[in-house]
Amino acid sequence: METLAERMKRLRIHEEDLEERFVLGSGSGGQKINKTSSCVYLKHHPSGLEVNCQETRSREKNREIARTRICEHFEARAAAAKLEASRERARTRYQKRKPSRAAKARLRVAKEHRAERKSTRRKVGD
């Protein structure tokens, strides 16, 4: 299992690029959650991605979850880019393929039909 630090390093997410703030929690959990700053706000400056995390009452656990979410976002974005590149390669490969015999025959018939229609447009004296 890859640790969070290794995952961030692989995705080129540096700690100095992250802005981290701790915000007062809200919601259910009683007085304790409303008095402590356990909600974590992370912002990745190069991408502008912002994440809020208040999953648990523990600040350290919320810090870890927020970083994990940022990693998941970058991985999803990389996977989408890889899929798009693959689709583009497949599209180019499809466009460059040679037409089949049946396709060539259909094209030839269409050209003959077009030539026949154009021949009826000639002037009477030609």
Per residue in 57-87, is it b (16+ CB within 10 Å) or e — as a string?
eebeebbbbbbebbbebbeeeeeeeeeeeee
Residue 1: its pLDDT value, please? 63
Q: Summarize pLDDT for 58-97 with one digit per residue, the tens.
A: 899 999 999 999 999 999 999 999 999 999 999 999 999 9
List the chain domain ranges. Answer: 4-119
pTM tops 0.85: no
User: Which H or E run includes 78?
Assistant: helix 59-96
> What does the pLDDT look like over 2-56, one tens digit per residue?
899 999 999 999 999 999 999 887 777 677 777 788 899 999 999 999 999 988 8
Top CATH class of 4-119 equals alpha beta
